[in-house]
Structure 1
Amino acid sequence: MTELSLIKTRIQAGIWEGILTGAAPDGGVPDLRVTHLGKLLNTVAVSPDPGTQGQWAVKIAIPPELLSDGVQTFLIQDGATGETLNSFNVVTGEPLGDDIRGELDLLRAELDMLKRAFRRHCNETM
């Protein structure tokens, strides 16, 4: 049995696209399953690449109703073995930006405190 390998090529117009290499155990179309928060999505299309033997084009439509503030994670698994082949995240919303800016401000404040302590230490040792 050939190992399946899935590589992302792009996300465009709400569709995740990738290239799947390897062969299904029965020689047919590989069975891929995509889940979001444990729920199975029925938006996967797998079609053979006419120019390359054993290579498949994968397209996964991202349902807009699943997008909300925060990070949404999608898992792509081999339906036959359950092995995770790839995953992707969609990050949306302003609250996430506030969290990152808050963390950056905290890091800057800590860096300033360390600089002051280091300068004070250097002045004391002279």
Structure 2
Amino acid sequence: MSVPVLTRSTLNSGLWEGVIECCGGKAPAFEVCLGQRVLPGLSQTAIGHDSWTLTLPIPGECISEGVQTFVIREAGARVAIGHFSLIAGAPADGDLRGEVALLRAEIDMLKQAFRRQFEQRQV
């Protein structure tokens, strides 16, 4: 059997849904983990010979301040097939998205200053 691949992942109204594809026809067992904890409630439905839909209602106690990363893997395996993250509350100081937004704002300021300087020299 080939390695399972997470091909689609959505999160809507607290319900995560993902599509796993792999060859072999026999449905492997999957699990979703948060840290070392395997989350209960994962359902698995065949949608084709080599595809399965996984559905997991996100438990309320898993939603908290900061970044929570959920890992999808074959049951008992340590290798991740895929993952999804929830970000809630105040952004962390080291959050990469915040750093990128700050860099973009600084680049915009530099572009404006450069254009003003260039326009003044043209006159």
TM-score higher than 0.5: yes
Output the amino acid matched with 2:74: D
1:45-88 deviations in Å (ceiling 9; x for gaps): 11111xx2121111121111111121111001112543210100
Q: Which residue of 2 aligns with 1:57?
A: 53
> Which protein shows a greater Rg?
1
Contact 1:30 1:46 in 2 (8 A): no
Pairing 1:97-112 to 2, within 5 Å after superposition:
104=101, 108=105, 112=109
TM-score in terms of structure 2 length: 0.70
Of the three residues 83, 86, 91, the one matched with 1:87 is 83
Contact 1:23 1:30 in 2 (8 A): no
- Matching residue's letter, 1:20: I
* Distance 1:80-1:59 versus aligned 2 partners, 3 A rule: same
Change in 2 beyond 3 A, CA 1:34/1:111: same
> What is the distance in 1 between the residues matched to 2:74 and 2:52?
13
1:76 partner amino acid: I
Q: Which runs of 5+ in 2 are unaligned?
A: 118-123
TM-score (norm 1): 0.69
RMSD: 3.5
Q: Which residue of 1 aligns with 2:35?
A: 37
Greater shift, 53-62 or 108-117, is seen at 108-117
Query: Displacement, 1:34?
Result: 1.2
Q: What is residue 21 of structure 1 aligned with on the other side?
A: 21
Query: Secondary structure of 1:96's partner?
Result: coil
In structure 1, C-alpha distance between the alignment counterparts of 2:35 and 2:23, rounded to whole Å: 28
8 Å Cα contact 1:31/1:78 also seen in 2: yes
Structure 1 residue 43: Cα displacement: 2.3
Name stretches of at least 5 consecutive residues in structure 1 with no aligned partner. 121-126
